[in-house]
Amino acid sequence: MEKRVPAVRMIDITKTFGHVTANNHVNLEIYRGEILALLGENGSGKTTLMNMLSGIYYPDSGSIEVDGKPVVIDSPKTAFSLGIGMIHQHFKLVNVLTAAENIELGGKGRLRIRDAARKIDEICAQYGFEVDPNRKVYDMSVSEKQTVEIIKVLYRGADILILDEPTAVLTPQETEKLFKVLRNMRNNGKAIVIITHKMNEVLAISDRVAVLRKGEYVGDLETAETTASEMTNKMVGHAIKLNIDRPKPVNPQPRILVEGLTVRNSDGVLKLKDVSFEARSGEILGIAGIAGSGQKELLESIAGLQRVESGSIVYLDDDGTREELVGKAPLEIQHMGVHLSFVPEDRLGMGLVGSMNIADNMMLRTYREGPHLFTQRANPAKTAEQVVRDLEVVTPSIRTPVRQLSGGNVQKVLVGREIVSAPKVLLTAYAVRGLDINSSYTIYHLLNEQKQKGVAVIYVGEDLDVLIQLADRILVLCDGQVSGIVKGTKAKKKKLGRLMTTVGGKEDADEDK
């Protein structure tokens, strides 16, 4: 291969935050006409490295060259003038403005919305985006907002694009669309960096992979010449098994009977329609579906957080007693002796209190215990010690506010707390979202342990590969309706994908031919 001049060269970059070294003498080269996947576990320094390229952080030492010339990137503005643009995980858009206004905002000179709209249409046509420049941002789906962010960067003339975990919020279909656009941009000669820790995406989209581990640059690989397990080993530093266990269900008994469940959200929109299924003890029931197909409402209905329009949810105890859950407050459901543990989608927003320490977060579930007015702090502290030990939570102490922990550790604290309360039914939503491989496998392992203890586990997931490997049965939701329930051992990804997009699952038979 002839010697190419890299679009960007990062040489010997070091960045520390206090006593934490985020990047340690990292070297990285980014080329035009190439998609580079930056791979690494949570906290391996991927985002920090890219933030230095986009002018958000300034390196402690080391240097950066763009097109062979040494540069100093001291602000995002400088980064833009060098053609470097970053699309962050959290969008930075003004909700009440239109796409065009958001894109034009912060540009030079007067606002020229009409010109902007025309130029946006050109960019869309060139790369295959679909977006209406005159639509308000608050009307947009997550994927549309992301599209606006990407166009914003292109509009300002960036030809080196950095995307920080762009697929974390997308459905498989939306991801495919994004990848198509990225390929178009690559073929157009742009340099693209995509930060991710999803192996299948790396294989699908990238030309080259650069791996970071614990802040250090491990090396790079040509995607075409590598495999998922080789990359994982490089990323984790030791060989790990990529298979998820699926122990045989132990004496499954019906535990939750849902019948004809219909739910409307606060705006009166129908979110669940006539949903019926059964969750059994000692089994993991997977729930698949495109984001927003009613998964959240389903779990919240069982936990008593959602108003149910019609239908019933019956809890069956071991001794055969039946309890109707619909119409009961979350606290009542707990008091009745029905043990529902709910791991909500939004870890910090709903399950935990970020400013409280681990022990106090354990206490959230149990603080009502005890007859008197005062809280008991000794037991939660013991629980916290136990969870930290058993789940290998990385934290300075149990008195550390959970906000200061990394995503994976926050998730372990939450799942750990729910498990400690010895549930009969464990509801989890996106339990591994944003977690690296090691943490994800810890969580899968925990769920399997619960299953073997006879807990009925309901697992709402987004990664079909995981669902197929983990769940005993998979219920597929489409637009608030059950489009099918498939045995885990017999489930095929293609079939699940089709069920996810087929309301009621009726047309499925015809398409199968």
Where do contacts with other proteins occur on this chain (CB under 8 A)? 14, 16-18, 20, 22, 48, 58, 60-61, 63, 70, 72, 74-75, 303, 305, 329-331, 334, 342, 344, 346, 348-356, 360, 363-365, 367-368, 373-375
Which residues partner with 270 through β-bridges?
A: 264
In the bound state with other proteins, the residue whose beta carbon lies nearer, of 366 and 501, is 366
Tokens of 378: 């000794």
Residue 70 CB, nearest distance to other proteins (Å)?
5
Residue pair 288/500 in contact (Cβ under 8 Å)? The answer is yes
In the bound state with other proteins, the residue whose beta carbon lies nearer, of 74 and 507, is 74
| Tokens 């789906």 belong to residue | 141
Residue 34 CB, nearest distance to other proteins (Å)?
26
Strands 310-316 and 254-264: antiparallel
**Closest to 73 measured CA to CA, from 87, 56, 60, 85:** 56
Q: In what order do the strands lie in the sheet with 69-71?
A: 20-30, 8-17, 61-66, 69-71
Residue pair 275/301 in contact (Cβ under 8 Å)? The answer is no
In the bound state with other proteins, the residue whose beta carbon lies nearer, of 360 and 462, is 360
Q: Which residues contact 38 (CB under 8 A, 6 or more apart)?
A: 28, 46, 49, 50, 193, 194, 195, 196, 210, 212
In the bound state with other proteins, the residue whose beta carbon lies nearer, of 267 and 374, is 374
AA identity, residue 68 = G
- Write the DSSP symbol of residue 4: P
In the bound state with other proteins, the residue whose beta carbon lies nearer, of 363 and 460, is 363
CA distance 327 to 330: 10
| Tokens 């934290």 belong to residue | 395
Please count the other Cβ atoms lying within 10 Å of the Cβ belonging to residue 398: 22
Residue 44 CB, nearest distance to other proteins (Å)?
13
In the bound state with other proteins, the residue whose beta carbon lies nearer, of 237 and 370, is 370
In the bound state with other proteins, the residue whose beta carbon lies nearer, of 215 and 488, is 215
For 140, list phi and psi in degrees, rounded to 5.
-95, 150
Residue 74 CB, nearest distance to other proteins (Å)?
5
In the bound state with other proteins, the residue whose beta carbon lies nearer, of 61 and 310, is 61
AA identity, residue 311 = G
CA distance 27 to 315: 57
In the bound state with other proteins, the residue whose beta carbon lies nearer, of 27 and 134, is 27
Residue 359 CB, nearest distance to other proteins (Å)?
12
In the bound state with other proteins, the residue whose beta carbon lies nearer, of 5 and 329, is 329
Residue 350 CB, nearest distance to other proteins (Å)?
5
Residue 364 CB, nearest distance to other proteins (Å)?
6
Residue 291 CB, nearest distance to other proteins (Å)?
18
Residue 88 CB, nearest distance to other proteins (Å)?
13
Rounded to 10 degrees, the C-alpha dihedral 496/466/291/147 comes to -110
CA distance 30 to 25: 17
CA distance 429 to 211: 29
Residue 375 CB, nearest distance to other proteins (Å)?
5
CA distance 365 to 350: 13
In the bound state with other proteins, the residue whose beta carbon lies nearer, of 22 and 103, is 22
Residue 407 CB, nearest distance to other proteins (Å)?
13
CA distance 267 to 263: 11
Distance of CA 47 to the CA centre of its chain: 16
